[in-house]
């Protein structure tokens, strides 16, 4: 049985190092796991309860919810914007948190990783992302972490998949998330 892991990237920039990290995750997925890089977060309107009406949910938000509901786990990639979570990733979590108590994140294993230019690799943003996902109902894996500092220098000429240390750490994250997701699927 294959485990489906949905990857959401909190940066919309084409050359984003977090996007590159997510691309590496797709390539490094262990046997029995499939990491799907979600496209389309830029198309989702800001969460507004007035437009979150059954039968009339914006198509982009409905597509995200369907993708998350079809996944066994989520892997969130968060850069750090002004010391916190990027709006695009927070917006995705907001849409996935509804309907209250039965959102697409409810009880799903979620791991949060990322890279940032600063010396701590975006840990503040990643901690805020874990907090938001947990409040939204996800089963956040607080012990599965990867924060890579100095992204601008570290990945200036090397894609994360070609950085042996990063590849090994990311492979471990995916394997651990896969294990949690596999346990949830079997239950």
Full strand arrangement of the beta sheet holding 73-77: 33-37, 3-9, 73-77, 109-115, 139-148
CATH of domain 3-186: 3.40.50.360
pLDDT tens digits along 77-104: 999 999 999 999 999 999 999 998 899 9
Share of the chain above pLDDT 90, in %: 89
- Supply the mean pLDDT for the chain: 94
pLDDT tens digits along 35-54: 999 999 999 999 999 999 99
């Amino acid at each position: 049985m294959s485990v489906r892991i949905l990857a959401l990237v909190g940066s919309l920039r084409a050359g984003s190092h977090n996007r590159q990290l997510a691309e590496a995750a797709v390539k490094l997925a262990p046997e029995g796991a499939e990491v799907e890089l979600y496209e389309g977060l830029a198309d989702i309107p800001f969460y507004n309860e007035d437009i979150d009406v059954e039968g009339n949910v914006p198509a982009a938000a409905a597509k995200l919810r369907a993708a998350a509901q079809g996944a066994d786990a989520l892997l969130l990639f968060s850069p750090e914007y002004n010391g916190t979570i990027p709006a695009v990733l927070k917006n995705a979590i907001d849409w996935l948190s509804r309907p209250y108590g039965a959102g697409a994140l409810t009880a799903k294993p979620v791991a949060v990783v990322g890279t940032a230019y600063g010396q701590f690799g975006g840990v503040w943003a990643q901690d805020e992302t874990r907090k938001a996902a947990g409040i939204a109902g996800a089963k956040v894996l607080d012990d599965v972490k990867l924060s890579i500092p100095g992204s601008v220098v570290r990945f200036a000429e090397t894609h994360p998949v070609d950085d042996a240390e990063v590849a090994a750490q990311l492979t471990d994250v995916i394997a651990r998330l896969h294990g949690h997701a596999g346990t949830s699927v079997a239950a």
